[in-house]
Amino acid sequence: MRITDARVIVCSPGRNFVTLKIVTEDGLSGLGDATLNGRELAVATYLSEHLVPLLIGRDARRIEDTWHYLYKGVYWRKGAVTMTAIAAVDMALWDIAGKAANKPVYQLFGGASREEVLVYSHASGATIEQTVESIADHARQGYRAIRAQCAVPGHGQTYGVAKAGRRYEPAERGGLPSETTWSTEPYLQFAPVLFARLRREFGSELQLLHDVHHRLRPIEAARLGKSLEPYQLLWMEDPVPAELQEGFRTIRQHTTTPIAVGEVFDSIYDAYRLIQEQLIDYIRCTVVHAGGLTHLRKIAQLAELFHVRTGCHGATDLSPVCMAAALHFGLSVHNFGIQEYMRHSEATDRVFPHAYTFADGFMHPGEAPGLGVGFDETLAATYPYQRAYLPVARRLDGTMHDW
């Protein structure tokens, strides 16, 4: 089953997406998400200039071999751009494999380990009361697990909090990155106040999560985890930047609040120490940024040996193609924990019609062959790319903060 064509399509139905479409001589086609938020065109060029010529004429059925050909053949291995490009090829090939077998992709992974995939959504507010309302709204929509973020009083726009009256969307189109300020001490004092109020309001059944966005130093994260223990979070996410992983030992020694990390990891080499030393509880690598389904399944299998469960990143900058891939993955892997789900805009859903469904806090990838996602290229062409950046953070003294 030779590959006869591979094309990269960049579109922006509300936000930017990079999509790889691979076509075989049998007329089958597969889709892969290649979106790297804020650096989209780097991956688009990597694919079209460097990988597409390598794909034409290859056997689409050789998924494992193609993965190693692209990973080992580059010489300069790893890195977000390389791994996102490889992930897109890998997703598209699994999509084709499913269509060729007339089966949903999860059936190629040993079938379902569970009936449905538990997801969590995002709630946020400029004040505690707005955050309470936002959570109540998500709970009414059926979510059983909700991430709560709230602006720190007196500190302006906080990352992870939706702007008034707007959907939460991390990247901004047009112009240069916006600049936010960050001050650790008020945040550390405020976070337990927020979660005390949320537990009073919602009781103990609702699962609450919180994203620290790599903002703390290990001893500060340890203090945060300790102060949040009475409120029994499902996890505290990205407590510290994860280049320096020894810090997780400090956090672990001080708190029983579960720890999740990995949305910016690009391979098992970023994750294996944290997993093997059982310094984390959830690994958040995604299909699109961690080398595709082939590689993410290996990460999950390593994690399974060490009591670590999956909790894949699923923000809106991951296209519906990635979301579908994550759901096939989540339905099948034994040590699945939870999947993040931020609904895409209606425009995005029209460009990427999909078989996956949401009901009562759970999702299912559907039974369509392959990944179960279509791509309306004509409609996509009406939404041209627009440069977008994530905001940056500065400390009160003006120095750049860790992300």
The one of ligand KDG, Mg ion, none whose footprint includes residue 315, by CB under 5 to 8 A per kind, is: ligand KDG
For position 317 contacting Mg ion by CB under 5 A, the verdict is no
Residues with active-site annotation = 159, 213
For position 317 contacting ligand KDG by CB under 6 A, the verdict is yes
Residue closer to ligand KDG, measured from CB, 98 or 263: 263
Q: Give me the least distance between CB of 148 and ligand KDG, in Å please.
A: 12
Distance CA 188, CA 361 (A): 30
Q: What is the DSSP string of 180-218?
A: EEE-HHHHHHHHHHHHHHHHHHHTTTSEEEEE-TT-S-H
The one of Mg ion, ligand KDG, none whose footprint includes residue 37, by CB under 5 to 8 A per kind, is: ligand KDG
What would the x/- binding string for Mg ion be over residues 193 to 222, using CB under 5 A? ------------------x-----------
For position 266 contacting ligand KDG by CB under 6 A, the verdict is no
Q: Give me the least distance between CB of 281 and ligand KDG, in Å please.
A: 16
Distance CA 379, CA 138 (A): 30
Residue 26: CB atoms within 10 A of its CB come to 13
Residue found by looking up tokens 């939404």 in the block: 383
Distance CA 386, CA 14 (A): 10
Segment interacting with ligand KDG (CB under 6 A) among 26-34, 309-317, 349-357, 362-370: 309-317
Check residue 151 and report its DSSP letter: P
Segment interacting with ligand KDG (CB under 6 A) among 124-132, 150-158, 293-301, 313-321: 313-321
CA neighbor of 15 nearest in space, from 201, 224, 172: 172
Distance CA 46, CA 117 (A): 33
Q: What element of type H or E holds 374?
A: none
Q: Give me the least distance between CB of 170 and ligand KDG, in Å please.
A: 4
Residue closer to ligand KDG, measured from CB, 282 or 352: 282
Distance CA 293, CA 185 (A): 40
Residues contributing to the site for ligand KDG (CB under 6 A):
37, 170, 211, 213, 263, 313, 315, 317, 340, 390
